[in-house]
Structure 1
């Protein structure tokens, strides 16, 4: 990280406490974790300048389990929102991530409760989202590994703001449909306020491709009062016309707004510039989600 990046991140990092003792220098360890996320190198092959590889692996695993990476991302998003730096015209999409052979073979066990690594406020979060379950769920052994034509894959569902930066993320097995996870992705949009007030959870508008075109998705967005641009599938339009007046009016569609849907595609491109985003190497689902969150934090 550059000095400017470290100045923003250092005040947000967890502090050591008596129970877990003094931690190794945060900057050295975080740089080692980010080097591994960027290059995809095995933990044992990390350069010696970052310190013992076990220290970096253990801290990344703990911060993935107790939600530290997630909280860091939320704090950075809160600063950006307070500065008016978030464009709330959101786009939603997903991408498949091929699983490396190193991602297989995890034992059938829940994520361990870390002994240290608590957030500064002392809140214990054993998994992202504050639950005791592996994030994502499903798949082989609950580690979100699903079979598809390309073999074992994991699917990353995400929403991105108008400046091509991820707002919320969710991992599922690779064969899961996009539309079935639209609502969970939207529910994960949660940008805290630096001052008093509830976190912002409602974007100005939402844009998605035809994979999200169904009555449930449109009803969900209407219920929350969110303007949306989702093209209608050809078979849905034909069925509506066959029913005549009973089929109702066609959904509104703004061509100019839909041209901006590429922001989420560009956000996926930025994520996949990190080698561990193009190929999954982590065995555990919650560690993989922590890796994705750390990459989004750097973006």
Structure 2
């Protein structure tokens, strides 16, 4: 089982394009997941959830999804704004590091950053780099030769609870001076990465498609369909990465797993100094065996 989380409906729909035999799975607290299998991979189950915008919601539902499905890996797929001109609309960024950029100390004249950062799981990074090299991940996007394949960048990403649409705002300056390795910005991966980190040994990765350049032109690019393009590209890469994760045991919903047989209980009794000889039996079912030998 692989969990893929998204924040927006356009991101969810992009992932659903790659799933078949989709069914609804309802968490006891009311959270709804879509559980299906990857196209062409009936052995690979995926649970898809929508967190909504923001780090807090992402953290809460990431923890919930991990507890519910015990996945082999959990991925966040969605859109982001570029902080570098080299990134084109539709390019994909695999976050090698996620910065939570809101932490810090505010003084009279300065804001002193106190960053928290999480790195991508090593195994998933290795798999992601191989997926990029094969180039087969982008085949579902368009027939060969009909569209230029998006570039895949392995870079740091900044995440916080603000939609950035300026290159000269205070937050833009903060990112430039204190998180200068970040090439893109979005709103969920800090919460996602923090929750996954607390869950222990589980593979995590953030995959983002560039939908704007965080430079005041967001409304124009969004109106031109950039969000759908970026979401489709990110989803295609995330799904290819999910397919590349080593096989693991198929997930079985709670309450549907076969009950284990009760333990065998043997009771051997000897009295008056006697010994019990060897007892041989074959267990073909659940039973309780009582063997008694007494000297009277």
TM-score, scaled to structure 2 = 0.28
More strand per residue: 1 or 2?
A: 2
- Whose radius of gyration is greater, 1 or 2? 2
**TM-score, with structure 1 as normaliser:** 0.27
